[in-house]
Amino acid sequence: MGTTERVAIVTAASKGMGAAIARELARRGYRLALFATSDAVATLAGELGGLAVRGSVTEPADLQRLVDATLDRYGRIDAVVNNTGHPPKGDILAIPDADWHLGLDMVLVNVVRLARLVTPAMEQAGKGAIVNISAFGAVQPGAAYPISSVLRAGLSAFTKLYADRYAAAGIRMNSVLPGFIDSYPDTPELIAQIPSRRFGTVEEIAATTAFLLSDEAGYITGQNLLVDGGLVKGI
């Protein structure tokens, strides 16, 4: 079955930023293919009239099922939001190799794999947009989350390389780098670090993501956009 409405894939869509992004895209008229490991993704898809696919972003076969099911249901893929959980933490030299490899699959290689799968459909359509939900650690690494910091910096590099390669085909890729967001508990110590003196909201991340997917952002590609209330100190 095909559709002339825009179709978006959202991964890790069952809660937090992923669910908020799914709701915002549905509000803007997108048809959705929602992907997550949790049963809750089916509930949200039912609420939004979308397709639910259960699986893990670390499993290539699951990503293939996601893309195949989306094309079977809608006949097109206009947008992708690469969202995922946080990789393991630990003291930088105490982290075992297995956790680094898991983090690589969670943060970076999953984006490469999904790009391989959706780019042909976008090339055929002559247009497409991808947004990667990253983190502020990509530009301000933190000792509390070394795997995330290292690999999200790599994701920023991939974002730029992909964007340059496929810009002439009408396909854009950008990354959103959230600061502290209200899907996680706040503390006075964390609030004090943020110039805005508050956590961001999942709805603010969703609105930023939807903008980057939209035609209004049609000349924005290869960018890594901080949405952090001024948290990052660099310029």
Mind telling me the catalytic residues? 145
Query: Do 206 and 24 meet the contact criterion of CB atoms below 8 Å apart?
Result: yes
Residue 7: strand pairing partners: 31
What is the C-alpha to C-alpha distance for residues 211 and 193, in angstroms, rounded to an integer?
27
Q: How far does Cα 207 stand from its chain's mean position?
A: 13
Residue 212: strand pairing partners: none
Amino acid occupying residue 95: I
E strand or H helix at 151, and its extent? helix 146-166
Rounded to 5 degrees, what angle do the CA atoms 49, 53, 59 make? 155
The DSSP symbol for 226 reads E
